[in-house]
Amino acid sequence: MSYVGRRGIHYLQKLSSPNVASTLLENGQNRVVDASLTLIRERARLKGELVRALGGAVASASLLGVPLGHNSSFLQGPAFAPPRIREAIWCGSTNSSTEEGKELNDPRVLTDVGDVPVQEIRDCGVDDDRLMHVISESVKLVMEEDPLRPLVLGGDHSISFPVVRAVSEKLGGPVDILHLDAHPDIYHAFEGNKYSHASSFARIMEGGYARRLLQVGIRSINSEGREQGKRFGVEQYEMRTFSRDRHLLENLKLGEGVKGVYISVDVDCLDPAVAPGVSHIEPGGLSFRDVLNILHNLQGDVVAADVVEFNPQRDTVDGMTAMVAAKLVRELTAKISK
């Protein structure tokens, strides 16, 4: 937890004394949450109206930042990632076209509804149960503005649970998930935290929000990760067999018979030579072109996606990992928009 978070929550805990009515704190928290959701709602509404007025878009990616890092078991720098990713997207070092020819400057391809104010909400003493619901509700507000589809900027990987939950609930059924990561993130409750970034996919599978979960790039997995994978029927593709699995993974067809495809990209799926700015450095990962081949060749209706676990505090090589994360966002935008 950040110093600011500790300070705010500690102060509010002090207020929970016989001299302070509990309703005072609860009413204040309600106002902050309502204001936060109102801002997301109105920004999404404006961007949705703009895209609909321009016409011609069946689906349009819309950025939603979730700057959350306190559920990380190691470093909490991913909380600072969303603005760094946006800066890299628009920094001017490259043009605005994706590899498949989509123009990011066109709002029918990409819009931005801003960030869920995670720290401000937590500073009011809101617990993680409610915070996760705020994130889910924020995602649903984006989805209400057809044709917008959420492309979420993390944050640590704990955000994938409330995002996938929202997508599944809003669409009325499970999705297929393509999860690229060095780790399976499927512990039951890592270090006792059910919302740990290492437990997000356990929550997703328990909730019935995914039919198929394919995990690609795995190279840090223990017995619990494998047992949990078997329990939930997860298709785990480890890096030690990637050369054998490559053809399959570069020709995936997902989403038939369910509500679409969700893509979750943990930046540490990549080899640290490509992306050193992550909290958990695991050598022996995917190349950037490996990831793009998997994404570009995927057949399926991508209804939402996230890019998580970029840690700007470890991005010491001239912002290289920020550019890597931005490129992932750009190519996911092209995959979503149509």
Residue list for the binding site for Mn(2+) = 157, 181, 183, 185, 266, 268
- Classify burial at 56, counting beta carbons within 10 Å of its beta carbon; exposed 0-12, middle 13-18, buried 19 or more: exposed
Nearest to 140 by CA among 263, 301, 303, 260: 303
CA 133 remoteness from chain centre: 15
The secondary structure of 243-280 as a DSSP string is HHHHHHHTT-B--TTSS-EEEEEEGGGB-TTT---BSS
Q: From CA 162, how far away is CA 45, in angstroms rounded?
A: 21
Q: From CA 185, how far away is CA 262, in angstroms rounded?
A: 16
Instruction: Give backbone dihedrals phi and psi of 307, rounded to 5 degrees, phi first.
Output: -125, 120
Handedness of CA 98, 101, 107, 110 (dihedral sign): negative
Q: From CA 216, how far away is CA 84, in angstroms rounded?
A: 26
Evaluate the omega torsion of the peptide bond into residue 83 and state whether it is cis, within 30 degrees of 0: no
Q: Output the known binding site.
A: 157, 181, 183, 185, 266, 268
Q: From CA 156, how far away is CA 179, in angstroms rounded?
A: 14
Nearest to 40 by CA among 115, 107, 102, 127: 115
CA atoms within 13 A of residue 151's CA, in its CB half-sphere: 26
**Strand order through the sheet with 148-154:** 110-115, 60-66, 148-154, 302-308, 261-266, 175-180, 210-218, 235-238
Q: Which helix (H) or strand (E) holds 209?
A: none
CA atoms within 13 A of residue 78's CA, in its CB half-sphere: 30
